[in-house]
Structure 1
Amino acid sequence: MYSLLSACTCLCLHFLLLCFQVQMFAAEENVDFRIHVENQTRARDDVSRKQLRLYQLYSRTSGKHIQVLGRRISAKGEDGDKYAQLLVETDTFGSQVRIKGKETDFYLCMNRKGKLVGKPDGTSKECVFIEKVLENNYTALMSAKYSGWYVGFTKKGRPRKGPKTRENQQDVHFMKRYPKGQMEIQKPFKYTTVTKRTKRIRPTNPS
């Protein structure tokens, strides 16, 4: 009789706990989960295979392409220019990327003053940008470290400083274009083919 009473008490406690959890969930059902999703997409992805793409970035204002000329950055490249060919590597589960000049192996970065510079080492967060696809189908690149600062260029192809840029400015609008005569380059998946089943070796009993 005592054990039955204890079991009933436990069931009642479990039921009350479940009701409390349901109430808590109902109270928080209006929480905006977009913040959580955004935080997750900005987390570093060190598990998945990095996606590597090759393309050019056409500047809406200069009418030319971004060039990584070593430590110097410009938007004066013609279509197919070797310095305008960019290797773009995904850095997170979301839309963060690192951009490297194929010819120079220097990364496109933005320093603390908002100046666009080329660096040989792209591990710093200053070399990470967030891709934003705009309503006009152009792409904007916002610094992952300095929120609200964008990659931008003047009509003469000179870099604009990050603090002077805004998402709605044409100076920060770019279009992805493949180099002349080239298609998208991606690292192919490597599959492991198993041809024979390995026999399981059983340990021999000592005599």
Structure 2
Amino acid sequence: MGSPRSALSCLLLHLLVLSLQAQVRGAAQSRGPGGPGRVGGLEDRLCAQRSGAARNLSDPAPSCPGEGAKEQSGRALPKVTQRHVREQSLVTDQLSRRLIRTYQLYSRTSGKHVQVLANKRINAMAEDGDPFAKLIVETDTFGSRVRVRGAETGLYICMNKKGKLIAKSNGKGKDCVFTEIVLENNYTALQNAKYEGWYMAFTRKGRPRKGSKTRQHQREVHFMKRLPRGHHTTEQSLRFEFLNYPPFTRSLRGSQRTWAPEPR
């Protein structure tokens, strides 16, 4: 048998190992997902402090445990924003001042200009400067949706349910609203707001074509905006005026220095 001193040392060593094992198990339970422990609470407090400091410094907040769901829910915000912008761009603007422009629509196929006649007929057979080819375009929304009417007759260009272009004296309906679309070839297409996918179009002879048979890539729907002959913009050209200023003095580190204008 060994000495009593060696047996006592072995017992103390065994008790020390058991104590360390108990401490390790307690620390592991405190770090678990459901167990409230001192270590987990300390990590949460540190993460909250880092997030608050990042918000004060206008930096992106650091990633903390449990924030993955918040990030995933935040990714849906751009879609909501896009839908809101699209809906607001389709709302008729009744409060802001309407922008009114005057121009002619040159048809790419007929080589003539769109005109609104007194007998409520619409075609693309007018020459440059024809009074019936002068169109007044009024903005309808914050976007590029407009109402087009003839300056000579006051009739609006509209589209019925069959896709035929008609003229109306009252252009408040949605069928009289067109969306201006600038194409890659710098031509402009006018898509009806009520019948999406239907465009204002004219054949080579200048006759209107049904909107149900039109597509954006067709030459019949391509127009060019042109100012009427003899029409000038109301904006006056700005002229530069040169002013002569007398020499001035500027104090630099306690000494007076005179600065004169450069010779011309």
What band does the TM-score fall into relative to the shorter chain? 0.7 to 0.9
**Considering only aligned residues, what root-mean-square deviation do their CA atoms show, in Å?**
2.3
Superposed, 1:31-180 pairs within 5 Å as 31=79, 33-70=81-118, 71-180=120-229
Q: Which moved more, 1:69-78 or 1:81-90?
A: 69-78
In the alignment, the residues of structure 2 paired with residue 32 and residue 140 of structure 1 have an alpha-carbon distance, to the nearest angstrom, of 28
**TM-score, normalised via structure 2 length:** 0.60
Identity of aligned residues (%): 56
Partner secondary structure for residue 31 of structure 1: helix
User: Offset of 1:141 from its aligned partner?
Assistant: 0.3
Query: What is the match of residue 3 of structure 2?
Result: none
- Considering Cα pairs closer than 8 Å and 6+ residues apart, tell me whether 1 or 2 has the greater RCO: 1
Change (3 A) 1:31 1:69: same
AA aligned to 1:94 is G
Partner secondary structure for residue 87 of structure 1: strand
**TM-score, normalised via structure 1 length:** 0.76
Residue-by-residue CA offset, 1:147-170 (whole Å, 9 max, x unaligned): 000000000000000000000000
Query: What is the match of residue 3 of structure 1?
Result: none
Q: Flag the structure with larger Rg.
A: 2
Pick the structure with more helix per residue.
2
Change (3 A) 1:164 1:178: same
AA aligned to 1:42 is L
In the alignment, the residues of structure 1 paired with residue 173 and residue 76 of structure 2 have an alpha-carbon distance, to the nearest angstrom, of 37
In the alignment, the residues of structure 2 paired with residue 184 and residue 113 of structure 1 have an alpha-carbon distance, to the nearest angstrom, of 38
User: Offset of 1:126 from its aligned partner?
Assistant: 0.9
In the alignment, the residues of structure 1 paired with residue 185 and residue 82 of structure 2 have an alpha-carbon distance, to the nearest angstrom, of 23
AA aligned to 2:91 is A
In the alignment, the residues of structure 2 paired with residue 76 and residue 58 of structure 1 have an alpha-carbon distance, to the nearest angstrom, of 10
Change (3 A) 1:25 1:180: same
